[in-house]
Amino acid sequence: MKEQEQEQEQGVKIGVGIVPVVVMLSLVCTCVASTGNNLHPLILIPGNGGNQLEAKLSSDYKPSSFICDSWYPLIKKKKGWFRLWFDSSVILAPFTQCFTERMMLHYHPQLDDYFNTPGVLTRVPHFGSTNSLLYLNPRLKHITGYMAPLVDSLQELGYADGETLFGAPYDFRYGLAAEGHPSQVGSKFLKDLKNLIEEASTSNGGKPVILLSHSLGGLFVLQLLNRNTPSWRHKFIKHFIALSAPWGGAIDEMYTFASGNTLGVPLVDPLLVRPEQRSSESNLWLLPNPKVFSPQKPIVITPNRTYSAHEMVDFLEDIGFPEGVYPYETRIVPLIANIEAPKLPMTCIIGTGVRTLETLFYGNGDFDERPEISYGDGDGTVNMASLLALQSLWKEEENQYLKVIKMDGVSHTSILKDEVALNQIVDEIGKINSHAELGLTKVLSE
């Protein structure tokens, strides 16, 4: 498939138990042998931060310092393009500030959309290929590996990049908005992904496509499916496999918004990256969904106030981010209010039994300081209530096949490299390829 590049330019201004948790009342399948020639095309959709981003600077860019103007980045590609994500120099404090201002998004109230920092142009390399999903930085393969082990496992199954295996990287800083609100970058990604699905199917004899997402990618896929007609879905989609999907958001995001999150990168000051993280449209999308998390569930506790997922507006104001309130209320709340079933076969593979942030205690009410944390069950990033949200939200749905596989001790990211987890993923794909037809009437939770 011909490689494409997405470019965004500034306008006015980014251990193992297998437990299926649904049963099927009616299942009709005709089985055929699964061989390399029989494989359904497969598209990988990464999670937040799961692919490379590149940038270049125009004359409209106004750096905050001489260092940002002349010394960062140290290495640039031809025509001025350079690696924006992931660049290891971000661990150096002066460069952290440069990174933050270039990754920053800005919400424009009059245009009701998000834009890059003025003068910062961004693009997503290698759309259609798995190249930018393997490593976040090819020069640092050992520490920035992402989907490389998964791709290796799929290749052993017979998949070939650009023939039966494809990648759909995107600018993960941007999200989507509810109907009636523009979301130029996110909507373009959905359009590009739809085209990729159709091209992958056509180039493989009309076989419908298997979609395999990780984390945030699952939310994009579900939106894509529900924004297209049932006839399109049934023609082009064979099965949707979601790994570690945060269907109801994650409590970890409230920690990110309140105090900044280094995401495990050493030496980085979380307060330096906090403004950029708060500006991310997709991070706003990933805040805990009040339809999934109970109002009686305290998440952030201070001497003067307790916040649940139902007090998100007050939370955003009190942490010093009032500019996030309007886009949250108008663009995000309606988007997450109704998580529709696509009426297509789905498998969710999740990690469990990993200590996951559940409650934050700010003893003196200062969000600039590190809180005390209590933990609960989840995959280390996403809480169980969110990982299993579809099971409860869709329990009355008919014609929706949903299978959930729990893997004890597998974390949010190790699901892409853990040997047992990879074997499980490949096994599921093998089963899907062996089923020529899948007819469903209803599923019930056990």
Max Cα-Cα span within the chain? 66
Inter-axis angle of helices 93-103 and 270-279, to 10 degrees? 10
Q: Which residues contact 270 (CB under 8 A, 6 or more apart)?
A: 259, 260, 261, 262
Annotated catalytic residue, options 215, 244, 279, 280? 215
Report how far residue 287's alpha carbon sits from residue 283's, in angstroms, rounded to the nearest whole number.
7
Contact 218, 279 (CB under 8 A): no
DSSP secondary structure string for all residues of 42-111: EEEE--TT-S-EEEEE-TT---SSHHHHHTSSS---GGG-EEEET-GGGGSHHHHHHHHHHH-EEEETTT
Annotated catalytic residue, options 113, 252, 318, 379? 379
Q: Which amino acid, residue 365?
A: G
* Short-list 267, 213, 234, CA closest to 88: 267
Annotated catalytic residue, options 40, 239, 412, 435? 412
Q: Is 215 a catalytic residue?
A: yes
* Short-list 33, 345, 344, 38, CA closest to 204: 38
Q: Is 379 a catalytic residue?
A: yes
Report how far residue 61's alpha carbon sits from residue 73's, in angstroms, rounded to the nearest whole number.
14
Report how far residue 297's alpha carbon sits from residue 294's, in angstroms, rounded to the nearest whole number.
5
Residues in the chain: 446
In the DSSP assignment, the letter for residue 407 is E
Q: Is 58 a catalytic residue?
A: no
Q: Which amino acid, residue 21?
A: V
The stretches of 210-337 forming alpha helices (DSSP H) are 216-226, 230-236, 252-259, 270-279, 281-285, 312-318, 325-327, 333-336
Contact 250, 386 (CB under 8 A): yes
| 171: exposed, middle or buried (Cβ count in 10 Å: 0-12, 13-18, 19+) | buried
Report how far residue 343's alpha carbon sits from residue 297's, in angstroms, rounded to the nearest whole number.
31
Which residue numbers are catalytic? Answer: 215, 379, 412
